Amino acid sequence: MKIGVNFGTTLYHYGPAEQVAVAQKAEACGFASLWSGDHLVIPAVMPLRDMAKPDMPIRKVDPKSPTAKVIFPATEPMPDVFITHAFMAAATTRLEFGTAIYILALRHPMASARAIGTLDLLSGGRVLVGVGLGWIPHEFELAGVDFASRGRRTEECVRIMKKLWTEEEPEYQGEFHSFGPARFEPKPATPGGPPIMIGGESDIALRRAAAIGDGWCGRLHTPDTLRAHVAKLAELRREAGRDKLPFIIQGWLKPSATAADARALEDAGAHHLILGMHGFKTAAEAMAHIERAAENLRLN
C-alpha cells in the first residue's frame, strides 16, 4: 500500500521554491505521492453550496440561507496542475504526482493527453490521474462547454486519451470528438499511459470507474464503508469484463491518522491512501505536519 499527501489548492499559495521544498520533504519522509487540485477558470462571483442540502444543484442555492457557503473564494490561485507537478517532479526522484481531481470534460482530450503524457514521460512514469466531472456550472459556461453532458464527455475523453497513448495511428468517431487517423508521439513512459482513476461516490460514478477507469478515487471512509464500495466496484468490474485488469482503490486518511488507521483501510481494500494537507498557511507549517504525519504513520 502507498500513502500520499493531498494539498488540494493549498500548495498553490506557496512560492515556487517552497513548493519544491514541500515535495522534497514529502519524499524524504517516506510519502509515496503528492496530490493537487484543479480548475480551469473560476467565476468572478463564486456560486454557493447549501451545506444542509449537498445534493441540491448549485444554481438553486438561496444566498440568504444560513447554511449557504462558498466552497473556496473566487480569488483562489489555480495554476496549471501538470506544469506545477512537472516543476516539482524535476526536483524529486521517486515521488508520484496525482490530481485530486482533474476536470477532464473542460478540456479537449488531445490537449489533456499531451500534457499528461509529457509529464509522465519527463518524470519517468510518476503520474496518477484522478478525474472528476466538476461541480460548478458557471465554470463550464465560461469555458463554453455544456455542463449537463459532462459525464458522457468525460467517458469519451478517457477513451480517446487511452487510444492516443497506445495506438500507432489512433482514430475515433464519437459524440463530441471525431478524428483520424492521426499520429501522437511520444508515448508516455508508463506502458498504456498513466492510470486514470475516476472519482465519485454515486452508483453511476462507480459504474463509470469500473467500465473505463484504472482505479477509483474515493473520499473519507470508515473501513466498513470502504469495504462496501470495494465490493460494489468488484461486482461492476466483473459485469464489464474488466475484473482481471489492474485497478487502484484510493482512499483518504484524516490528518491525525495513525499506522493502525492506514492498516484498517488497507485491509478494507485500499491500495493508495492520501492524507489531507489543506489549510496550512505557510510551507513551513505544511512541512512540519508532513514530518509529524510520517511519524504517526510510521513511514520511516
**For the segment 112-150, what is each residue's pLDDT rounded down to a tens digit?**
999 999 999 999 999 999 999 998 888 999 999 999 999
pTM for this prediction: 0.92
The answer to whether 179 touches 157, Cβ cutoff 8 Å, is no
Give the residue with greater pLDDT, 151 vs 48.
Answer: 151
2-41+78-297, what's its fold? TIM Barrel (3.20.20)
d(C-alpha 197, C-alpha 206), whole Å: 11
d(C-alpha 268, C-alpha 131), whole Å: 23
C-alpha closest to that of 250 among 277, 208, 220: 220
Half-sphere exposure of 138 (CA within 13 A, CB side): 13
d(C-alpha 234, C-alpha 228), whole Å: 10
Three-state DSSP at 160 gives helix
Mean pLDDT of 179-206: 96
Confidence of residue 231 (pLDDT cuts 50, 70, 90): very high
Confidence of residue 25 (pLDDT cuts 50, 70, 90): very high
